[in-house]
Amino acid sequence: MTSDLIQAALYVGLLVAAAIPLGLYMARVFTGDMTFLAPVERAILAPAGVRAGEGQHWTRYALSLIAFNAAGFLVLFLILRFQHLLPLNPQGFDGVPAHLAFNTAISFVTNTNWQSYGGETTLSHLSQMAGLTTQNFVSAASGMAVAVAVARGLSGRQVRTIGNFWSDMVRAVLYVLLPISIVLAVVLIAQGTPQTLAASATATTVEGAQQTLALGPVASQVAIKQLGTNGGGFFNVNSAHPFENPTAISNLLSVLAILVIPVAFCFTYGRMVGDRRQGVALFAAMGIMFVTAFAAVYAAERLGNPLHAAFADPAAGNMEGKEVRFGVVNSALWAVVTTAASNGSVNAMHDSLTPLGGLVAMLNMQLGEIIYGGVGVGLTGMLLFVILTVFLAGLMVGRTPEYLGKKIEAREVKLAALTLMVMPIGVLSFAALAIVAGAAQSSVQDAGPHGLSELLYAYSSATGNNGSAFAGFNANVAWHNTFLGAAMMLGRFGYIIPILAIAGSLAAKKTAPPSAGTFPTHGPVFVVLLVVTVLIVGALTFLPVLALGPIAEHVSMIAGRTF
């Protein structure tokens, strides 16, 4: 156990050490201080008619983002549907069925990367590279653009613009995502991750049999899938596959890559709004929830399943569904990192987590992926809770609801409260509809409360734009491909549009200096209040259904009952 805790502490230390300078660097990138790639920017933006420095009202910013994502969806959908007619298809795969192509295109455009298919048995190299990997970059860049636009809106003083979507997105790719991904891909290749256009290789096993191993341009996709909190795997079992995640070093680099930009954005935000304490407060609130979640999952997995005690060593913990080379601590850490960051990649099967371990992973997503969250959008999701917390604090102590010197009025509170409906609709309503229609019963693998958890996890993952799967759930049917796709769109744009509207509203307001009636939003009291607000909202919304799923399963497990 001591070794496990040392590994976890090392991870946190390396993460913070990398995130702080990266956050300050990104602040310089998005404030225009970094210009060494300016000629490349102009070469990309000029043909599209975008002028450097031209600001956009929040409505134009949002429309630009939606239009770009719609175009990306259409292009990816067509690539998938007609991959059998396109080059770089050495496996000779057929075109992807319409409902699966619809689901996959929405999934990668919304930075969800939910996969209802096995990558090595379904998609050509062209689909993987020109389709999925491209969207891994631009969907992550879109989320980063939203975050910096919101930061400008909150710090602006009586202005009508919040930046330029096209410029922000291009800078995110050129200055941040692309260079780090190249370095990470090279390191992964050195660790043993394939990067080739060959379809497969034949290996001779120890017993002398012949085995065909699927290959492809894996390293380049793995690098950006982690860094951009995308998560979609080249192979069906994702980062549990030895080609995607071959060594302990690749495992460490991967979990660092997943969270480094989301954590860095806290420090980027503090610098951009002119008060580093605000960024530190958000980092602390998210950090408290992250450490608590990891401790809960690690404890549950280390204690293991009492039903296995008769035939497995209890001291090893719950090793079902886990790679022996990673063990309990690295599997638990990855499970928390990936569900906190809306990444969705896995190095162990979440379907085999203990009931309480699975509950924490599911709750991370149901809270709206705000524990650091996806690149950019995780920060904006937390800022929505900041606005609600400021409003509630004002009601409780009789102080003026203010944030960064600007009054939080009815418009901002209504827009923030509106986002609270996104997760319940996407998870509870869509899951209930699947049960009523019979689509749930035919897709779950297990009976009893675990079967309900499989269904809940799928729709939590889709609505939270996470993409991880509980396994044991057959999502590749027309019903789930359609409704999971709808949940992904709701989860992505149901948060982005209201927060951009709030940013635009606050940008136009005057900034007042702090007064005796101002509630501080950078101290320990506010951090605790913010965490409590998040947990209360999550508990009130999802505790009843979690009681029917993982909590009921845990009680049954303790009682020795199986289904």
Mean pLDDT of the chain: 92
Q: How many Å apart are CA 49 and CA 26, to the nearest integer? A: 25
Q: What is the mean pLDDT of residues 493-520?
A: 87
The pLDDT-based confidence of 243 (bands split at 50, 70, 90) is very high
Tell me how many domains the chain contains: 1
Inside any domain, residue 252: yes
pLDDT at residue 406 is higher than 70: yes
Q: What share of the chain is helix, strand, coil (3-state, %, to 5)?
A: 65, 5, 30
Inside any domain, residue 309: no
pLDDT of the residue at 225:
96
pLDDT single digits (tens) 292-306: 999 999 999 999 888
The range of the structural domain enclosing residue 98 comes to: 2-204+211-272
Inside any domain, residue 60: yes
pLDDT single digits (tens) 462-486: 999 999 988 889 999 999 999 999 9
Q: What is the mean pLDDT of residues 55-67?
A: 95
Inside any domain, residue 136: yes
∠ Cα 71 490 137 (to 5°): 45
Inside any domain, residue 104: yes
Q: Are 23 and 267 in contact (CB under 8 A)?
A: yes
pLDDT of the residue at 308:
80
pLDDT single digits (tens) 412-467: 999 999 999 999 999 999 999 999 999 999 999 988 999 999 999 999 999 999 99
Inside any domain, residue 348: no
The pLDDT-based confidence of 264 (bands split at 50, 70, 90) is very high
pLDDT at residue 400 is higher than 80: no
Inside any domain, residue 148: yes
Query: Across-strand partners of 402?
Result: 407
Per-residue CA distances from 445 to 165, 354, 413, 440, 458 (Å): 43, 16, 42, 10, 13
The pLDDT-based confidence of 516 (bands split at 50, 70, 90) is low
pLDDT of the residue at 364:
94
pLDDT of the residue at 398:
74
* Comparison of pLDDT for 378 and 515, the residue scoring more: 378
- Please give, one letter per residue, the 3-state secondary structure of 68-129: HHHHHHHHHHHHHHCHHHCCCCCCCCCCCCHHHHHHHHHHHHCCCCCCCCCHHHHCCHHHHH
Inside any domain, residue 521: no
